[in-house]
Amino acid sequence: MLLVVDCCIRGGVSATRKYYETYLKTAAEHDVSVIKLAELDIEPLNAETLRKRDELCEKKEFDHETFRMARQFRDADEILIAAPFWDLSFPSLLKVYLEQVSVCGLTFRYEDDGSCVGCCRAKRLLYFSTCGGYFGERHLGFEYVKAFAAMLGIKECVPYIIEGMDIDPAWRQDILDRTVRRLRHGC
């Protein structure tokens, strides 16, 4: 199953969403599960939810509803994350989601020598993003997700990033259309 984590806050008008949806059509993926974070009721961890979660982890009750998203992330064959470039990385809602799937004992664990071992099945994560300007040497959103994925055992991260979307509003649609056309024609 390909798990799509959609953090395109602007919904139907999002260029990032249009970009990854075109990819899905060209890739002709069959078994796809999409979660749209903006439509979910997820909150940052707080003292109370963290305490409850730690209790469940201690008892190894990983079948609990609390861990539904973490189990889904762990079991996916491939993962696609789509998030626009916001404030040098990505919308905070994606971080809220990543908090939910980062569970010691479920998506990663520690060996006796203190080293961290990822427990996720996916070998590859695709990261889709569109940026208003140019991100420079490093896309911090992609770099963060890449490091996060490595911690969870996902070795390969592939960036699908479009830059310069907002330099001139008149170019926006054109830049997107050209990139999408290239995807469709496989170049």
Ligand X SMILES: Cc1cc2nc3c(=O)[nH]c(=O)nc-3n(C[C@H](O)[C@H](O)[C@H](O)COP(=O)(O)O)c2cc1C
Residues forming contacts to ligand X in the complex (CB under 6 A) are 8, 10, 14-16, 84-88, 130-133, 165-166
Q: How far is the CB of 151 from ligand X (least distance, A)?
A: 25
Please, what is the minimum distance in Å from the beta carbon of residue 129 to ligand X?
Answer: 8
By the 10 Å C-beta count (0-12 exposed, 13-18 middle, 19+ buried), 165 is classed as: buried
Backbone angles phi, psi at 139, to 5 degrees: -85, 105
DSSP string, 109-128: EE-TTS-EEE----SEEEEE
Minimum CB separation of residue 103 from ligand X in Å reads 28
- Minimum distance from CB of 83 to ligand X (Å)? 8
Q: Which two tokens stand for residue 164?
A: 């310069």
Q: Which is nearer to ligand X, 107 or 129 (CB)?
A: 129
Q: Which is nearer to ligand X, 100 or 130 (CB)?
A: 130
Query: Closer to ligand X at the Cβ: 20 or 108?
Result: 20
Residue closest to ligand X when measured from CB atoms: 132
Q: Do residues 173 and 141 touch, judged by C-beta distance below 8 A? A: no
The one-letter code for the residue type at 108 is: F
Question: 3-class DSSP state for residue 84?
Answer: coil
**Which of residues 85 and 108 has its CB atom nearest to ligand X in the complex?**
85
